[in-house]
Amino acid sequence: MKVDLIIKNAKELLSLKGSAKPRVGSEMDELSIIENGAIAILNGKIIAVDFAENILQKYNSAKQIDASNKVVMPGFVDSHTHPIFAKTRENEFEMRIKGKSYVDISQSGGGIRSSIKFVREATFDQLYEIALKNVKKIISNGTTTIEAKSGYGLSTESEIKMLKVIQKLSTNLPIDVIPTFLGAHEFPTEFKENRIEYIRILKEEMLPKIAELNLAKYCDIFTEAHVYTVEQSRDILQTAKKFGFKLRMHADEIEPIGGAELAAEVGAISADHLGATSNDGIEAMRKSGVIATLLPGTIFSLGMQSYARARDMIAKNLPVALATDFNPGSCNCDSMQFVITLACLQMKMTVAEAITASTINGAHALQMAEKTGSLEIGKQADILILDMPSYRYLPYHFGSNNVETVLKNGQIIWENKI
C-alpha cells in the first residue's frame, strides 16, 4: 500500500502504546519501545507502527526518513504556558538572586502586575509578533501541542486582545494551540482594594463575553494565599463551568491552602504546580480524576527547594503530567527537555515516567489524548526524531536541544540539523 511518508529503522521507537486512560503508577514507566521500528503515515495520521521490516513489507512511499541510530517518539505536549506578553522580566530574576522572594516582588508592584501594564499598552500586532517568536522557540524544542493562557490583561478588553492573539497563533502555526482564559491570575492594581468588584466583573462581564466569542476552552485561576482564596476560586470556577468552560487551576504552588481539594471538588481537568499539596489533596485529586501537572522549571527558576512530591503522587496512582509554565516572570523556559531533566533530578522521576508525563499524560491534561501524545494507529503523526543512542540520553544531555526533526500531522515543521 502506498503511503505519504515512512519513518524507518529507528533504533528505539517509543510508541507509548497503552491504556486509553491517563497513565498511572507503573504504567508511567512503560514506553512500549520497538527496536528498529518504523511508522507509516497517510493524510497526516499514523496508520501503522511496527518493526521496520514489517512496515517496509506492507507499505511503500516515495518519501522515507531514515532514523538509523536515532530515537523516535511522540511530540511533547506542553499543557501549561503563558506565551503572550509584551516585556520580559529578567530584572526580577536578578532581584531573586539577591534575596527577594516571588511574593515580595509581586507585592511591591512587580510580578504579574508589571506584565499587565505592558500588555495593556501593547497593540495586538506587537503582542502577536512577540508571541509568535515565543511559540516558534517552543516548537524548535520539540513541542507539537501547547496550551496558552491569557491573564496579563485583566480587563475585558485586554483579556480578549490576548485571547485573539492566541486564536491567531492557532490559525497560523502548524501546531495545536489550546486557549485558556486566566482572568483570575491576579487582582489588577485598580482593584487592589476592591477585590469583590473585580470578581463581579470577571463573573458578569468577562466570562459571558469570552464564552459568547468562543475564545477559550478552559478557565484557569491562581489560587494562592496572596491572590485568590479557596472561597473566591470556588465561586469563579463554578460560574465558569455554567458558561461551558472546562476548568484548570494553579493550585498549592507555595502554600497548601486547599487548592488541590478544590480542583477535585469542582471537577477540574488538571491542577498545576502542587509544590505544597497535602496527602488529603493528593487523595482527593485521585478520587475525582484530576491530573497533577507538575512544573519543576518554576521551582528551579524561583530558586526554591520544595519540588512537588511526584514519587508520592505516582505511588498513589495519581496521573502526573509535566509542563514548562513558560512565562515572563517565574519561569522563562521553553524546553520540555529541560523540564524532563529537572523532573528526573529533583523529583526522582524515572526517565520513562518523565517522558510519559510530557507526552500522553500532557495530552490527557488537555483532553487531546485521542489525537496525540502517543504513536498509535489513528492518531495525528506528531513525531520527534532525536539524534541520540537511547531515550535515557534525553535528560542526561541537558542545556542543549536534542531534537533533530519535528513533525506535526505528518509534515516536517522544524529541523535542527547541525
Q: Which three cell numbers stand for residue 47?
A: 496508520
Q: Which does 259 bind (CB under 5 to 8 A by kind): ligand NIG, Fe ion, none?
A: none
- Per-residue x/- track, 113-152, ligand NIG (CB under 6 A): --x-------------------------------------
Q: Which is nearer to ligand NIG, 27 or 220 (CB)?
A: 220
Per-residue burial over 73-101, b if 16 or more Cβ lie within 10 Å, else e, is bbbbbbbbbbbbbbebbeebeebbeeeee
Is residue 253 a contact residue for Fe ion (CB under 5 A)? no
Number of neighbours of residue 367 by Cβ within 10 angstroms:
16
Is residue 353 a contact residue for ligand NIG (CB under 6 A)? no
Residues binding Fe ion: what is the number (CB under 5 A)?
1
Is residue 112 a contact residue for ligand NIG (CB under 6 A)? yes
Q: Are the beta carbons of 346 and 9 closer than 8 angstroms?
A: no
Q: Which three cell numbers stand for residue 175?
A: 501546531
Measured between alpha carbons, how far is residue 214 from residues 24, 40, 80, 132, 245 in Å? 33, 36, 20, 21, 10
Say which amino acid occupies 314.
I
Residues binding ligand NIG: what is the number (CB under 6 A)?
14
Interface residue with ligand NIG among 328, 373, 395, 410 (CB under 6 A) is 328
Is residue 329 a contact residue for ligand NIG (CB under 6 A)? yes
Beta strands in 15-150 (DSSP E): 33-42, 45-51, 64-66, 71-74, 76-78, 143-149
Q: Which is nearer to Fe ion, 159 or 325 (CB)?
A: 325
- Per-residue x/- track, 69-98, ligand NIG (CB under 6 A): -------------x----------------
Q: Which does 281 bind (CB under 5 to 8 A by kind): Fe ion, ligand NIG, none?
A: none
Interface residue with ligand NIG among 330, 380, 402, 405 (CB under 6 A) is 330
Question: What distance in Å separates the CA atoms of residue 277 and residue 254, rounded to the nearest whole number?
Answer: 9
Q: Which does 115 bind (CB under 5 to 8 A by kind): ligand NIG, Fe ion, none?
A: ligand NIG
Burial-class residue 194 by CB neighbours within 10 Å (0-12, 13-18, 19+): exposed
Is residue 111 a contact residue for ligand NIG (CB under 6 A)? yes
Q: Are the beta carbons of 154 and 192 closer than 8 angstroms?
A: no
Question: What distance in Å separates the CA atoms of residue 45 and residue 381, rounded to the nearest whole number?
Answer: 5
Is residue 220 a contact residue for Fe ion (CB under 5 A)? no
Q: Which three cell numbers stand for residue 269?
A: 481537568
Contacts of Fe ion in 311-350 (CB under 5 A): 325
**What residues make contact with Fe ion under the rule CB under 5 A?**
325
**What residues make contact with ligand NIG under the rule CB under 6 A?**
82, 111-112, 115, 222, 250, 253, 298, 325, 327-331
